[in-house]
Amino acid sequence: MEARPAVKPQNPNFSSGPCSKRPGYSVAQLDTATLGRSHRSSLGKAALQQAINDTAELLGLPEGYRVGIVPASDTGAVEMALWSLLGARPIDVCSWESFGAGWHGDITKQLKLEVNHISADYGLLPDLSQTNPDHDIVFTWNGTTSGVKVDNADWISDERQGLTLCDATSAVFAMEMPWEKLDVVTFSWQKVLGGEGAHGMLILSPRAVERLESYTPAWPLPKIFRMTKGGKLIEGIFKGATINTPSMLAVADYQDALNWVREIGGVDQAIQISNASLKAIEAFVDSRDWIQFLAQNPAQRSNTSVCLTLDLSDEQVKALVKLLDSEGVAYDIGAYRDAPAGLRLWCGATVNTADVEALLPWLEWGYHQVKNS
């Protein structure tokens, strides 16, 4: 029988959303001066503007790119983009897991637009070179539920006529993003930075803004999706005048996360932490024959949502997840409900690599406990 490990992770939070808070996080450290104040007050707008400015600065966005805080998390940000921008050109939708498939479903069933669907099964990346630079292209950068990420942007033409709309919620702040190749990028606070839910981030290139100001969709837009008025971009959205009332407590929490990224050395350091955790898991998996990455191409393995399959039945996998939860060593690590049975370990920068390393012996112990029971 496999020996019971002696050391547990100091932080057992490996959930893929909401994700672990940053190391050393405390609610008591948040700047709560905005609480109880209007988000339209000078104080409230300044806090929102600072979060926007710091996001752009830390990510190193190109000149002219706009950042907005929008309702309804990454989903809201993606839907705003789909409903506001699509319909002007043919559309390529790339999907290889549940969220990408969801965007395909919304575009075809809700907006009722015809698309060229370029898809692949869980564990694989479709042939992205099949996309057409004259088309609008919708895709996720990191397949959160499959653990398969886009490994480069060479397939996106610099001379493209269409827009690239990228759901990057599990990638921004953890992976290098080729901003000049991306016209619309969305993410949410509760992923890589471990912030709170309910708010999304929408990044627009000048080309995306031009589309918004020159194209009117054939369908009515709900108020929370409207980014233009009289054919002009509502600039206030990208200067802290949010479409609807945000949680100023969540904004303070996000600002704390941004400050932390700056303190550790910026996005490059955040990427390094995440990559170090992936390397620890790779070394573990490579030396064992009962556990594998769901991602079949090593270059396309996600360094945030690390998805693993095991030599166990579906019921045994559930038993393993429950066992590790009861031991207090790993919470919320079961695979996404639509994905193949397995484990999903969040390894964004808010998770210490030392905790990932401490978890790995427990995976082996738990595997043998379940396999031999």
pLDDT in tens, the chain (373 residues): 679 999 999 999 999 999 999 999 999 999 999 999 999 999 999 999 999 999 999 999 999 999 999 999 999 999 999 999 999 999 999 999 999 999 999 999 999 999 999 999 999 999 999 999 999 999 999 999 999 999 999 999 999 999 999 999 999 999 999 999 999 999 999 999 999 999 999 999 999 999 999 999 999 999 999 999 999 999 999 999 999 999 999 999 999 999 999 999 999 999 999 999 999 999 999 999 999 999 999 999 999 999 999 999 999 999 999 999 999 999 999 999 999 999 999 999 999 999 999 999 999 999 999 999 8
Cα separation, 367 vs 87, whole angstroms: 49
CA distance to 27, 45, 116, 160, 257, per residue, from 147 (Å):
31, 37, 24, 28, 24
Q: Are 239 and 230 in contact (CB under 8 A)?
A: no
What is the three-class DSSP state of 342? Answer: coil
pTM assigned to the model: 0.98
Structure tokens at 84: 């506001």
Output the DSSP codes for 225-270: G--EETTEE-GGGGGT--SS---HHHHHHHHHHHHHHHHHTSHHHH
Q: For residue 104, what is the enclosing H or E element? A: helix 98-105
> Selecting from 2.60.40.10, 3.30.110.30, 3.40.640.10, 3.40.630.30, what CATH number does the domain 30-263 have?
3.40.640.10
Residues in contact with 333: Cβ distance below 8 Å, sequence separation at least 6, in sequence order = 14, 15, 321, 324, 343, 344, 345
Assigned fold of 266-371: Aspartate Aminotransferase, domain 1 (3.90.1150)
CA distance to 210, 213, 228, 279, 329, per residue, from 233 (Å):
9, 6, 4, 44, 48
Structure tokens at 169: 């919620």
Structure tokens at 151: 């490994």
Residues in contact with 180: Cβ distance below 8 Å, sequence separation at least 6, in sequence order = 62, 158
Amino acid at 20: S
C-alpha torsion angle, residues 60, 61, 67, 72 (rounded to 10): -70
Q: Where are the domains of the chain?
A: 30-263, 266-371
Handedness of CA 65, 69, 74, 79 (dihedral sign): negative
Cα separation, 48 vs 70, whole angstroms: 11
Residues in contact with 2: Cβ distance below 8 Å, sequence separation at least 6, in sequence order = 364, 365, 367, 368, 369
